[in-house]
Structure 1
Amino acid sequence: MKYLLKKVLGESGFDFLAIRFRFLRNLLALFKNFFMDMCLYFKHSNVFSSDSFEKIEARIILNYHGIEKGFVHDKIRPRFAIKRVKNLISDLQAIDERYQHNSQTTIAQKVLIDYYEYHKKNNIAIGDYFSEEIYNIFKSRCVLKEKAFVEKNEAEYFSDVNKTFDLFSNSRKSIRSFTNERISEDVIKEVVDLASNAPSVCNRQPARVYFINNKVLVNKVLDLQGGLTGFQNEINQIFVVTVDRNYFYTIGERNQFYIDGGIYLMNLMYALHFKKIGCCPANWGKTVDVDKEAQKILNLKKSEKIICVLAVGYVSGNIKYTLSKRRPLNEILRVLE
């Protein structure tokens, strides 16, 4: 068949047809793969249904972490996160009726216990949305002693920076409150240079880092991100991590830029921690419309995808961060013989 087509079309005509065929084949394959991605996300994400333990657990984590963050403000607002508290109680009751509790539902109950006891200690009434009866149920079965937030001074927080990796890694936490001291450009260069040893597919190194030192521009980006509203006044500098789609070849690599970008982001956070700089990664799970707006603000190439916004700054004095209890090994690891 190839021989006959070359005879009929000529060498150049055959090459032209082959290029067109490969283009069409790849276009159809790309559509098929993105369509399957969409179907799987439609079926299994929390966007359209909440019909499994994992989906209920995901909401529980989202809500208890939101309450944890309320505790790390210097001034805790009375009756904060009412909607999250109501949702959390409802979802925990659903777990009671249908499933067994695990590490995350257990810590969620502890966060609610801390929430109730904080308000009771300060004589703030919350009985209209969190009853004493529900508190007593949670309290009766709670075995955890940790609080929903941790407090340390600067020396304590950075005490494991130069120790073994297990201590170093476990000591890094998301910090949301910073001093007014600016990180110098020289230090930023050291941090990014250190982070650049992150691995990437075929060593393509597609990650790019934008350091924003202008408070007006910082606020525009944070307004779009939307997750650091309560801490925005204390955030004067941010990183925006992007990945350039130009570096990916196959249909199978359509999501590889998220992987390479995530690996680079973690390395960047470790580099900041090593330099005794606080940071907090802010989720960039945005629609294409928000992406386009951010591209205009930051003058990004159309091929670049934002992976994360990273609030950064020096910390001092009393440092507060969320407990963010991690899963035990048996909820994560599966060994296949």
Structure 2
Amino acid sequence: MSLKSTAKKVLPVGVFERAKKIANGSLSLYSMALAQAHRYNKAYAKYDSRGVQQITARMVFFTHQIEKGLSHTNFRYGFGHKPLQYLNHAMERYRQVNPEYMQSIMYQSALAALHEYRQRHEGHEAEFEYAKNLFPSSIWEEVVQFSLHEGGSITVTSSSKEDNGTLPFSELSEHRHSIREYNDEPVTLDELMPTIELAMRTPSVCNRQPSRVRVVLNSDTIEQALRIQGGFGGYPIPPALILITADNRSFMTPQEHNEGFTDGGLFGMSLLLALEEAQLAACPLNTMFRSKAEKATRKLLDIPECENLVMYIAVGHFPESVKTCRSERLLAKDITTVID
């Protein structure tokens, strides 16, 4: 018998096997994306949502809008008509769905922001008139009960950051705040690279390290990027802007299509803490854009299609004194479920 006749024949992949590969690949990816979109659409916080969690999210969002206005160095009297309208609507809905609303940290935070809003308008009654008439008298009566401790703005000084390099993690994390206004000193690449190097210790799925970093130091490019981003209006252009993306070429299966946002988010938090330790002020800014803004950002910063935008981080040096949002947090027990 010849050697040729005894060799094991390798059959071509059958139609069934090919179909299975397609089903486990592209079709699986699109199926998961549709299921995810359906799940999100049922849950996210729409204007007319009736659930406590969704209404809470809207109340927190518009409270934060007011806190941002309160934190501006160049304070504008009478600001925030639209956020105030939405906040009033959310607070009214929240009182309807939560009988114990006065015990809620997030509701108290909204009251505290309104407390500071009213305080800051003392002597400027004409500019305060809109907010005064918008909210019912019962809200303003509740506002009287709450100090600034639960919300509004706080002051951060550069002198309070001088020991950041020696603080234990718990204190460094506890004292970090998002800072949106900086002094005039430029930020150099030499200052930023050690913080990025430290963030490289961030864990990622199977150590595939999908995070990518763009550092923008040109003020014109930063201004264009933030104009597209749309969430930094009213603040001076920061000395530096960092963009974190996630490279999808690092992943291997359809099931990992969201993994870049997880790994990139972890990297972003590591970088924020590294910047804080280096006594650099920073503020994360979201990049969850509509199609037009995403395309414009990709074109401006030359971002390839294989990378997902994860977040911006505005960076600068701490000014001598600056206000920022208090951004009250929930307690750990409020978000923790113990499963026996």
Scaled by the length of structure 1, the TM-score of the pair is: 0.90
Asked if residue 222 in structure 1 is aligned to residue 226 in structure 2, the reply is: yes
> Using a 3 Å threshold, how does the CA distance of structure 1 residues 226 and 17 change in structure 2: closer, same or farther?
same
1:321 is displaced (CA, Å) by 1.1
In structure 1, the residue corresponding to 2:143 is in which secondary structure? helix
Q: Distance in 2 between matches of 1:161 and 1:92?
A: 41
CA contact (8 A) 1:175 1:278 kept: yes
Query: What residue number does 1:142 align with?
Result: 146
Deviation at 1:135, TM superposition (A): 4.7
Correspondence 1:295-314 to 2 at 5 A: 295-314=298-317
Bigger CA drift: 112-121 or 320-329? 112-121
Partner of 1:28: 27
Partner SS state of residue 203, structure 2: coil
Matches within 5 A, 1:156-195: 156-195=160-199
Are 1:238 and 2:241 an aligned pair?
yes
Partners of 2:19 and 2:41 lie apart in 1 by 33
| Structure 2 residue 262 is the aligned partner of structure 1 residue 259 | yes
Counterpart selection for 2:284 from 275, 281, 286: 281
- Helix, strand or coil at the partner of 2:128: coil
In structure 2, relative to structure 1, the CA distance for the partners of 1:12 and 1:224 (3 Å cut) is farther
1:13 is aligned to 2:12: yes
**What whole-Å deviation, never above 9, does each CA across 1:166-188 have from its counterpart, x for those lacking one?**
11111111000112211222222
Task: Decide whether aligned partners of structure 1 residues 24 and 136 sit closer, same or farther in structure 2, where only a CA change above 3 A counts.
Answer: closer
The whole-number CA distance in structure 2 between the counterparts of 1:143 and 1:50 is 30
C-alpha distance in structure 1 between counterparts of 2:144 and 2:138, whole Å: 10
TM-score, normalised with respect to structure 2: 0.89
Give 1:221 deviation, angstroms.
Answer: 1.0
Instruction: Specify whether residues 157 and 141 from structure 1 end up closer, same or farther in structure 2 by C-alpha distance, changes over 3 A only.
Output: same
Indicate the residue corresponding to 1:115 in structure 2.
117
Judging changes above 3 Å, is the alpha-carbon distance between structure 1 residues 49 and 134 closer, same or farther for their aligned structure 2 residues? closer
Shift in Å, 1:120: 2.7
Q: Which amino acid in 1 is paired with 2:203?
A: P
Tell me whether 1:43 sits opposite 2:23 in the alignment: no
Call closer, same or farther: CA 1:143–1:153 in 2, change over 3 Å: closer
- Taking the aligned partners of 1:37 and 1:147, their CA distance within structure 2 comes to 34
Q: Confirm or deny: 8 A CA contact 1:212 1:218 kept in the other structure.
A: yes
Measured after TM superposition, the shift of residue 225 of structure 1 is 0.7
Q: Which moved more, 1:198-207 or 1:77-86?
A: 77-86
The answer for the alignment partner of 1:3 in structure 2 is: none
CA deviation map 1:69-114 (0-9, x unaligned)? 1111112101011121222122212222221321111111111121
The gaps in structure 2 that reach 5 residues or longer are 1-8
Q: What is residue 59 of structure 1 aligned with on the other side?
A: 58
Count of aligned residue pairs for this structure pair = 327
Q: Residues 134 and 127 (structure 1 numbering): CA distance in 2 closer, same or farther, change over 3 Å?
A: farther
In structure 2, what is the Cα distance between the partners aligned to 1:48 and 1:107? 20
Q: Assess if the C-alpha contact under 8 Å between 2:181 and 2:319 holds in 1.
A: no
Aligned amino acid, residue 106 of structure 2: Q
- Does 2:104 align with 1:105? no
Structure 1, unaligned runs of 5 or more: 1-9
Taking a change above 3 Å as real, the CA distance of residues 50 and 158 of structure 1, as seen in their structure-2 partners, is farther
> 2:331 is matched with which residue: 328, 332, 336?
328
Distance between the aligned counterparts of 2:183 and 2:273, measured in 1? Answer: 20
Deviation larger for 208-217 or 141-150: 141-150
Question: 1:207 and 2:206 equivalent?
Answer: no
What is aligned with 1:5?
none
Give the aligned residue type for 2:338. Answer: V
Amino acid at match of 2:160: E
Greater CA drift, 86-95 or 174-183: 86-95
Two-structure CA RMSD over aligned residues (Å): 2.1
* Equivalent residues of 1:201, 1:260 under 8 A apart: yes
Deviates more, 1:255-264 or 1:187-196: 187-196
**Does the CA contact (< 8 Å) of 2:65 and 2:83 recur in 1?**
yes
The 2-side partners of 1:26 and 1:308 are apart by 28
Name the CA distance, whole Å, in 2 between partners of 1:145 and 1:201: 40
Offset at 1:191?
A: 1.4
Q: Hey, what does 2:86 align to over in structure 1? A: 87
Aligned-residue offset at 1:283: 1.0
CA shift at 1:290, angstroms? 2.4
Q: Which moved more, 1:240-249 or 1:95-104?
A: 95-104
Aligned CA distance change for structure 1 residues 108 and 193 (closer, same or farther; 3 Å): same
